[in-house]
Chains A and B, each alone.
Chain A
């Protein structure tokens, strides 16, 4: 029963999800080729030094960035790039919005609600589907990067432990966003409302994190952004996810999922 529900949830919007997955794979696959075409670590360092100081500030990258972080540091930039984030978050928010609010909107949730299934189980199926999606999207990027490295072979080393740490960090970010948007979905009756709230939250978070780097006045509010805890470069260089990031991102997702469960099991469904 549970398997059938999870499968059904993942089947919905499968074509779109696969396209987004393909986008993530291609984006992370080509990065090692770009690094190689520029000349590996040395070439990347020279390129950054050539950038005007203003552009270095806007790109939030210092001349000694490659010297400090190596090829792994460069590749980590592909994971907090807006294109990557948009692809992954579209898949996650698309799933969470479809799986509850979207089903209320279309009326399809009535079929599941009318069967002898506890609401908790119906909700757990949504969480299980989300976890599958998170696992796939978090791991496909680093796998594509590894494949690109194996083929392009740019100068510089990137260890498996570094990519595993990146996978875990990406998983934690998507868990946090997925958990919070599932909470909104559990309380909503339309897909648009979930997409609106989740996208707004992400955009504000992203720009708070970005502008706080440039503008000291915003420095105190930086920890309020979810992206403050998504330090891809630090994670890749250290080969481990910072504890604070793990706790905040993991905790945010958990709070979202639990709050969503509380609402889902108690609310009225006008379908």
Chain B
């Protein structure tokens, strides 16, 4: 059950400083219950630092971080009793067998590993392999085992940092299906990822961070709505004049009789213009998350002034 506000994770003006370096600069997030929330940003943007604070590994310099309504530092034990956190594959004990690793993780979780078989099946991790010491596993196998370790005890919140790193596309697809099933059963997923395609396929909500600040957040649809759509038009003859002057549209590319335009929200001027010409083909494509993501970064870079803030 989420806090009274209906959010599983809430941060407010969360800051973390290492001396003069500000790793987080007033991060505010709200993760709804039962959602898959993508936490996006390049290396050093502050994703991992935020997750460490939510897990109670590190203490915020200022601001507030709550999980299920409990302060992540002061009530860390209560928070972690409901969270499944993905440790990196390298953080598993190499001298243990897969079975022993799972048993140890279940033991210190204090909850029965009720999702273990489900995870092993979805990730196609052969039970016979679990007899072997972890040191003999490939990177992908260790990542699969790390995922089982993180979620086998059926937590209410899954907190993943790059969950599909090292997994092949087939297993990634299986894993995505499993996360959707977990969501349908009421589990909330908070994940950071560099794989924008994966985030786009999976996540309901996203937040984009840069240099320790959230520069955009909301549902996937609302983020995409804010971004211009891409329209490709192929004229039957040469590209007519006036294509540069259409209100609400900007010409991106011209290639023979084909032009590519970005249209903000108002299609009326473009449609009026096209109606008076002979069109061979037209395609309207909604923006991909990658385009939205890059547009935020580019606009931030242009707007950014020299600052002492440094990401971590």
Q: B83 touches which one: A8, A12, A114, A270 (CB < 8 A)?
A: A114
B183 CB-CB contact with A under 8 Å: no
Please determine whether A269 and B78 come into contact, CB atoms closer than 8 angstroms. Answer: no
Q: In angstroms, how far is the closest chain A Cβ from the Cβ of B32?
A: 23
A229–chain B nearest beta-carbon distance, Å: 37
Q: Are B91 and A106 within 8 A (Cβ)?
A: yes
Q: Give the size of the chain B interface in residues (CB under 8 angstroms).
A: 26
A81-115 CB contacts (< 8 Å) to partner B: 106-108, 110-115
Which of B57, B81, B104, B149 is A113 in contact with, Cβ under 8 Å?
B57
Contact of A1 among B57, B92, B108 (CB under 8 A): B108
A110–B52 Cα distance when bound, in Å, is 10
Cross-chain contact A4 with B91 (CB below 8 angstroms): no
CB of A271 within 8 A of CB of B80, answer: no
Cβ of B189 under 8 Å from chain A: no
B-side contacts of A1, CB under 8 Å = 107-108, 110
Whether the pair A4, B104 counts as a contact (CB closer than 8 A) is yes
Q: Beyond A269-B58, A270-B58, is A117–B91 a contact (Cβ under 8 Å)?
A: no
Given contacts A118-B77, A269-B57, contact A111 B95 (CB under 8 A): no
What residues of chain A lie closer than 8 Å to B95, measured between beta carbons? 11-12
Q: Is the CB of B77 within 8 A of A110?
A: no
Q: A268-B58, A269-B58 are in contact. Are A116 and B109 (CB under 8 A)?
A: yes
- Roughly how many angstroms separate A8 CA and B77 CA in the complex, as a whole number? 21
Does A5 reach chain B (CB closer than 8 Å)?
A: yes
For residue A107, which residues in chain B have a CB less than 8 angstroms away from its CB? 87-88, 90-91
Residues in B whose Cβ lies below 8 Å from that of A5: 108
A106: chain B residues at CB < 8 Å are 90-91
Whether a CB of chain A sits under 8 angstroms from the CB of B224 is: no
The digit string for A1-18, where 1 denotes a CB below 8 A from any CB of B, is 100110010011000000
Report the separation of the CA atoms of residues A106 and B96 in the bound assembly, to the nearest whole angstrom.
15
Number of interface residues of A (CB under 8 A): 22
Contact of A116 among B57, B78, B88 (CB under 8 A): B78
How far does the alpha carbon of A110 sit from the alpha carbon of B161 in the complex, in Å?
13
Q: In the complex, are the beta carbons of A108 and B108 less than 8 A apart?
A: no
| A116 touching B90 in the complex, CB below 8 Å, given contacts A1-B107, A271-B57 | no
Residue of A nearest to B16 (CB): A268
- Indicate the member of B77, B80, B87, B95 with the most A CB atoms within 10 Å: B87
Residues of B contacting A118 in the complex (Cβ-Cβ under 8 angstroms):
77
Q: Give which listed residue, A4, A117, A268, A269, contacts B77 with CB less than 8 A.
A: A117
Q: Assess whether B108 is in contact with A112, with CB atoms less than 8 Å apart.
A: yes
Whether the Cβ atoms of B87 and A4 lie closer than 8 Å is no
CB neighbors of A among B94-146 (8 A)? 95, 104-105, 107-110
Q: Does B65 contact A (CB under 8 A)?
A: no
Q: Bound complex: CA of A12 vs CA of B93, how far in Å?
A: 9
Cβ of B55 within 8 Å of any chain A Cβ, yes or no, is yes
Which chain A residues lie closer than 8 Å to B81 at the CB level? 116
Contact partner, B57, options A4, A8, A12, A268, Cβ 8 Å = A268
- Residues of chain B within 8 A (CB-CB) of A271 are 52, 57, 91
CA distance A112 to B91 in the complex (A): 10
Query: Chain B interface (Cβ within 8 Å of chain A)?
Result: 52, 55-59, 77-78, 80-81, 83, 85, 87-88, 90-93, 95, 104-105, 107-110, 149
Q: Can you report 7 A-B residue pairs in the complex whose CB atoms are below 8 A from each other? A: A106-B91, A108-B93, A110-B57, A113-B57, A268-B52, A268-B57, A270-B52
- For the complex of A and B, the 9 pairs showing the least CB-CB separation, nearest first, are A107-B91, A116-B81, A268-B58, A114-B85, A4-B107, A116-B80, A110-B87, A115-B108, A269-B57
Given A111-B87, A113-B56, 9 more contacts at CB 8 Å?
Answer: A5-B108, A11-B95, A110-B57, A113-B55, A114-B55, A114-B80, A116-B80, A268-B57, A271-B91
Residues of A within 8 A of B (CB): 1, 4-5, 8, 11-12, 106-108, 110-118, 268-271
